[in-house]
Amino acid sequence: MKRFAVIGLGNFGFHAAKALFEDVNEVVAIDTDKARIQAIDPYSTEAVVLDATDKDALKSLGLENMDGVIVSTGTTISISILICLYLQEMGVKKILAKALDDDHAKILKRVGATEIIHPERDMALRVSRGLSRPNVLDFIPLADEFDLIQVGPPSEFIGKSLKDLNLRAKYNVHIIAIKELVPENFLLVPPASFVIKDSDILIMLGKSEDIRRIKALK
């Protein structure tokens, strides 16, 4: 089980926190608005009314031990910049920050954000590509109980071939493609002899409950 924090519970932050919690993760939800905290409380491990621009209060939450922190504050750019700076100083390794525009994104990167989120732009791109490229994997209409995901390999997969792992028999999941990052390569329907590296990204298809078993591996 992984641990995440979401700072800012507007539409994006609320649904991000809820999705992480429903995917069997520990989630700390943070906002200054009591009504938002009450709304997210059933979908979080801990819901905290807190001003994340208060450095001492933010430090008290122990966020440096999280697997990732999402910063999804409102339209006041300085707030998200300050929060990302504090998180970086605290030693948070993975900071995902919502940006309002490209200039905002550049500043967030400079103060510690490791990944930038452009919700409206990214969704527009997904919808547009779904219309113009209906065969793209992201847009395959799957039944509710099935997932198509990208995931880094658990440690016990590394150094083993797909034949040795025999994931179809053990977990009832299918690796339909692999993204190799070193060197960059995309392998569709990899052979059974393929040996998994720690830098690979596995694209898996299977029932949600079986996918969760894979994701729970360390």
What per-residue confidence (pLDDT) applies to 135? 47
- For the chain, the domains span 3-122, 142-215
φ, ψ for residue 4, nearest 5 deg: -135, 160
Q: Which CATH superfamily is domain 142-215 in?
A: Regulator of K+ conductance, C-terminal domain (3.30.70.1450)
| Fold match, 3-122 / 142-215 | no
Strand order across the 201-207 sheet: 146-151, 201-207, 173-181, 184-188
- Fold annotation for 3-122: Rossmann fold (3.40.50)
pTM of the model: 0.65
> What is 4-61 written as a DSSP string?
EEEE--SHHHHHHHHHHHHTT-EEEEEES-HHHHHHHGGGSSEEEE--TT-HHHHHTT
Per-position pLDDT tens, the chain of length 218: 899 999 999 999 999 999 999 988 999 999 999 999 999 999 999 999 999 999 999 999 999 999 999 999 988 899 999 999 999 999 999 999 999 999 999 999 999 999 999 888 877 876 776 666 554 455 455 566 787 888 888 889 999 999 999 999 999 999 999 998 888 899 999 999 999 998 999 998 888 888 888 888 86
